[in-house]
Amino acid sequence: MSLDHPLARRLLRVGALIAITASALVWILPVAFILAASLKPDAAVLAEAGGLKAFWPSPPTLENYGDVFDRVAFGRIFLNSMIVNAGIVLGGLLVNSLAGYALARLRFRGRAVTIALMLALLIVPLEAIAVPLFYEITFLGGRDSYWAQIVPFVANAFSIYLFYSFFLGLPKELEEAARVDGAGPFRTFFQVVAPNARPAFASVAIITFLLSWGLYLWPLMITSTVDVRPLPLGVAEFRTLPPLQWGDVMAFAVMMIAPAVVLFLALQRWFVAGVATAGVKR
Amino acid sequence: MGAIELDGVEKVYGGGVHAVRGLDLTISEAELLVLLGPSGCGKTTVLRLVAGLESLTEGEIRVAGRRVDQMPPSKRDVAMIFQSYALYPHMTVRKNLAFPLRMRGASKDERARRIEHVTGLLSLEPLLDKLPGELSGGQQQRVAIGRALVREPAAFLMDEPLSNLDAQLRSRIRADLAELQRRLAITTLFVTHDQTEAMTLGDRVAVMREGCLQQVGTPDELYRSPTNVFVAWFVGSPSMNLVRGRAAEGVGTPTVTLVGDTEASFRAPSMQTGEGDVIVGWRPEDLALGAPEGDRPLLNGSVSRVESLGSERLVYVQTGLTTTSPEGEDGSGTLVVRTPTSGPVPRPGENVSLLVREGSEHVFGADGVSLAATFHPRRSGPAAGT
């Protein structure tokens, strides 16, 4: 039976569907588990964990969510995360888009070297520079502050690269028209280039948000009080706070995931377009 | 409104590419001058130099008497229309029109007044609240013209603005553009590689090749009295037939012998006296088939191909002559004859005799420069060499 045979094609499709569903389930099940567990009475979480009931809270209760607010300053921790992430995302969009634009459009001495260095930076992980960075920030008096959690993550080689390749694909005539029409370089960028680079901005916003929303090591090193600590530290500490209530921990986790999901759903149209077109000349 | 003057303009790119060489050119006030040439001849570079999108290597550019070559584009008081129109995709037509005015700090009333004026002029009213992506090519073109007009600039720069339109629309917008330019008397530098566009639009046409200006003149002057082989060949469609020959002093008038597998001689009273290798050119309409009275056949050949264009017919005749091109490459010996559609259609393979209209030949020296008796080259520089 050849692969062109209708039955063979059908089998292939069914096989592919099964494979896709299976790999999707690997990701979805833990999330479904967390969501269901957060709505169960605490005692039921571990008791039902072994079976299908793990994914079905009956009857559902919002008690755990209330507990989280009663036991820790969740509002404060959530706000800390929002402030730090807003700083990283908004600052990153501004700085990295301008840097990517400059590399894509301006001709200056050292441009090629700068691009090579930027690409090289892509492979340096935070862990490799965490200790010297810690001394640097301590020296600058940044311990236990928001800015110490924001500044090191604003400029980002990957974001610059994504903007750079997107801007390379934008037609130059638009910018030239703006220049002839009387706009200076910054007005050209903000009023003509940026509005036509929404996919790139959305992609960078989502990617940056997801990466910095989950930052753990750096805030652990640089902060020590709940006044500035973000959610990943909060959930870790919450788990060690006696008594260990798994339902509460799950509720905490759900509230931590929610903003990322909302942001992704809001921007996904642009995100997909951005990833699909970045680096492709149109 | 004002003249555009280029004096000794040179442009050398970073890689050493010499894009424009010693260009002297004046576009008079209210004139539409077309810069014509094959791709890569430097014509778009000239436009971008005037706009300020490229920096000058040497020379001077003045717009309305003001030296502009060191100014940023925004200060030069010129508006540009791009080949791709370059409308801002995220702005409505109204905002596109307002953009150059806002950049210049025009008041709200002033903006409204000017946009209304341009909208009326170009019938843009129904399009004002649409985005460029919702418009047809022709409509986008009109908006691009509007965005340039709304600034009331000293001069217009147009970079092949019609090349993205289909043929029918192109000829209509071409006529509209010519009418508008005349009515508003805007000094315009128009770049194209399409010689039909150049001939129909331009008050004068400047032909460029490899960064050098070849000839400036009215479309008729270029067609009837090309100063060198390149202009002769580039202007006119189909191109002028170019044949290698040898000139000799005759009795009173010079005689030219065409060379190749066959030879043919004729007297060329239009040519300066002289001896040596020459290139002779005839327009397709200056050749004819058959043997009407009063003309004597130049030589015989056989029909290789016939193209019927409706109103006329192009007959390709294979001869033994050595045809050539501005680059000096020898061709296949085929001459193109433009004939009326009346009469029988010549069949491929048929033997015919070729007639020439007396005095219609263009004779060029071996260096490509015209040897016409009436032509006295003003400059020795940018000749099309062979």
More confident residue, A274 or B183: B183
pLDDT of residue B100: 92
- Pick from B204, B224, B244: which residue ends a domain? B224
Number of separate domains in chain B: 2
Q: If you measure CA to CA, which chain A residue comes closest to B79?
A: A180
Residue B305 forms part of a structural domain? yes
Residue B385 forms part of a structural domain? no
Q: Is A187 in Cβ contact with B74 (below 8 Å)?
A: no
State phi, psi for A79 to the nearest 5 degrees.
-60, -45
Residues of chain A in contact with residue B72, where contact means CB-CB under 8 angstroms, are 179
Query: Can you read off the two tokens belonging to residue B123?
Result: 């019938």
Which of the residue ranges A57-66, B194-203, B316-325 would you say has the lowest mean pLDDT? A57-66
Confidence bin at B291 (pLDDT 50/70/90): low
pLDDT of residue B257: 86
pLDDT of residue B248: 84
Identify which of B181, B157, B153 has the alpha carbon closest to the alpha carbon of residue B66: B153
Residue B11 forms part of a structural domain? yes
pLDDT of residue A42: 81
Question: In this structure, are B118 and B149 located in the same domain?
Answer: yes
Interface of A with B (CB under 8 A): 171, 173-174, 176-184, 187, 191-192, 195-196
Q: Distance between CA atoms of A281 and A166, rounded to whole angstroms? A: 8
Residues of chain B in contact with residue A181, where contact means CB-CB under 8 angstroms, are 74, 79, 99-100, 103, 147, 151
Q: Is A181 in Cβ contact with B147 (below 8 Å)?
A: yes
Stretch B174-179: mean pLDDT: 86
Cis peptide before B238 (omega within 30 of 0): yes
Residue B381 forms part of a structural domain? no
Residues of chain A in contact with residue B114, where contact means CB-CB under 8 angstroms, are none
Long-range Cβ pairs for the range B167-175 (8 Å, 24+): B169/B137, B169/B138, B170/B197, B173/B138, B173/B141, B173/B142, B174/B200, B174/B201
Confidence bin at B295 (pLDDT 50/70/90): low
Element (H, E) at A114: helix A111-121
Tell me the per-residue pLDDT of B257-286, one tens digit each, with 9 for 90 and over.
Answer: 888 887 788 877 777 767 789 999 999 999
Task: Order the strands of the B212-217 sheet from edge to edge.
Answer: B78-81, B155-159, B187-192, B32-36, B204-209, B212-217
Stated length of chain B: 386
Question: In this structure, are B214 and B279 located in the same domain?
Answer: no
As separate numbers, helices (DSSP H) first and strands (DSSP E) second, chain A gives 14, 0
Question: In this structure, are B213 and B304 located in the same domain?
Answer: no
pLDDT of residue B179: 87
- Pick from B224, B248, B282: which residue ends a domain? B224
Residue B376 forms part of a structural domain? no
Cα dihedral B189→B194→B200→B203 (10° resolution): 30
Q: Return the SS3 of B104.
A: coil
pLDDT of residue B374: 59
Question: In this structure, are B201 and B263 located in the same domain?
Answer: no
Name the residue among B82, B103, B151 with its Cβ closest to that of A173: B82
Residue B171 forms part of a structural domain? yes
SS3 of chain B: helix, strand, coil, percent, to 5: 25, 35, 40
Confidence bin at B12 (pLDDT 50/70/90): very high
Tell me the per-residue pLDDT of B102-125, one tens digit each, with 9 for 90 and over.
Answer: 998 889 999 999 999 999 888 899
- Pick from B224, B254, B281: which residue ends a domain? B224
Question: In this structure, are B60 and B152 located in the same domain?
Answer: yes
Question: In this structure, are B96 and B110 located in the same domain?
Answer: yes
Residue B255 forms part of a structural domain? yes
Question: In this structure, are B318 and B256 located in the same domain?
Answer: yes
pLDDT of residue A273: 65
For B21, the domain range is 4-224
Neighbours of A140 (CB within 10 A): 12
Does the pLDDT of residue B383 top 60, yes or no? Answer: no
CATH number at residue B218: 3.40.50.300
Report mean pLDDT in 10-residue bins for chain A, 282 residues. 79 94 93 89 80 80 87 91 95 96 90 91 88 94 92 93 92 91 90 91 90 91 90 88 86 91 84 54 35
Stretch B32-52: mean pLDDT: 93
Stretch B162-186: mean pLDDT: 85
Question: In this structure, are B208 and B78 located in the same domain?
Answer: yes
Q: Distance between CA atoms of B213 and B42, rounded to whole angstroms? A: 10
Residues of chain B in contact with residue A183, where contact means CB-CB under 8 angstroms, are 74, 99, 103
Confidence bin at B294 (pLDDT 50/70/90): very low
Q: Distance between CA atoms of A229 and B376, rounded to whole angstroms? A: 87
Min CA distance, A6 vs chain B (Å)? Answer: 42
Residue B384 forms part of a structural domain? no
Q: Distance between CA atoms of A163 and B254, rounded to whole angstroms? A: 69
CATH number at residue B235: 2.40.50.140
Query: Are A168 and A247 a contacting pair, CB within 8 Å?
Result: no
Query: B264 — alpha (psi -120 to 50), left (phi > 0) or beta?
Result: beta
A–B interface: beta-carbon pairs under 8 A: 58
Question: In this structure, are B198 and B108 located in the same domain?
Answer: yes
Tell me the per-residue pLDDT of B206-221, one tens digit each, with 9 for 90 and over.
Answer: 999 999 999 999 999 9
Residues of chain B in contact with residue A187, where contact means CB-CB under 8 angstroms, are 103
Does the pLDDT of residue B375 top 60, yes or no? Answer: no
pTM confidence score: 0.79
Q: Is A180 in Cβ contact with B53 (below 8 Å)?
A: yes
Query: Are B22 and B28 a contacting pair, CB within 8 Å?
Result: no
Query: Are A159 and A208 a contacting pair, CB within 8 Å?
Result: yes
Question: What is the ipTM metric for this complex?
Answer: 0.80
Question: In this structure, are B211 and B187 located in the same domain?
Answer: yes
- Residue bearing tokens 């639009």: B201
Where do the domains of chain A lie, and which CATH numbers do they carry?
6-61 (no CATH), 66-277 (1.10.3720.10)
Min CA distance, A172 vs chain B (Å)? Answer: 9
pLDDT of residue B349: 87
Q: Distance between CA atoms of B62 and B7, rounded to whole angstroms? A: 9
Question: In this structure, are B254 and B193 located in the same domain?
Answer: no
Question: In this structure, are B273 and B182 located in the same domain?
Answer: no
Q: Is A184 in Cβ contact with B89 (below 8 Å)?
A: no
